[in-house]
Amino acid sequence: MEHDEALFDSLATLRAAHDKASGLMTEIALLGARALKGRGSVPSLVQLQNYMQALAQAQRQAARCEDLMLGRTSPARSDAAAGGRPYVH
């Protein structure tokens, strides 16, 4: 049961990380659309970097969920151990 709880906790954390990245992308897309219409400035580099960090966190959490689903108990994997998967959103 402890394993299941860890998996459910990890999935909840993954959902939160995904939601954060998704929200940041929504904001970036809205700013971009407004800028194309001449009603504002383009998104900033900081906004893009924040999105990239949130996306990386979601990717790490997805790998953690995968580890738990496969019965691995290692707390973290390096990018090489993660198979060099591309970031997915």
Distance CA 76, CA 65 (A): 10
Average pLDDT, the chain: 88
33 inside domain: yes
Which residue segment(s) compose the domain that 41 sits in?
A: 2-69
46 inside domain: yes
26 inside domain: yes
Q: For residues 82 and 32, which has the higher predicted lDDT (pLDDT)?
A: 32
User: Is residue 1 scored above 80 in pLDDT?
Assistant: no
23 inside domain: yes
Instruction: Provide the domain count of the chain.
Output: 1
User: Is residue 62 scored above 90 in pLDDT?
Assistant: yes
Tokens matching residue 53: 């960090």
User: Is residue 75 scored above 80 in pLDDT?
Assistant: no
User: Is residue 74 scored above 70 in pLDDT?
Assistant: no
87 inside domain: no
Rg (CA), the chain: 16
64 inside domain: yes
Task: List, in order, residues 6 or more apart from 48 with CB less than 8 Å away.
Answer: 28
Q: What's the pTM value of the predicted model, to 2 decimals?
A: 0.77
Distance CA 82, CA 60 (A): 9
SS3 17: helix
- Tens-place pLDDT, residues 28-55: 999 999 999 999 999 999 999 999 999 9
Look at residue 72 in the predicted model and tell me its pLDDT. 87
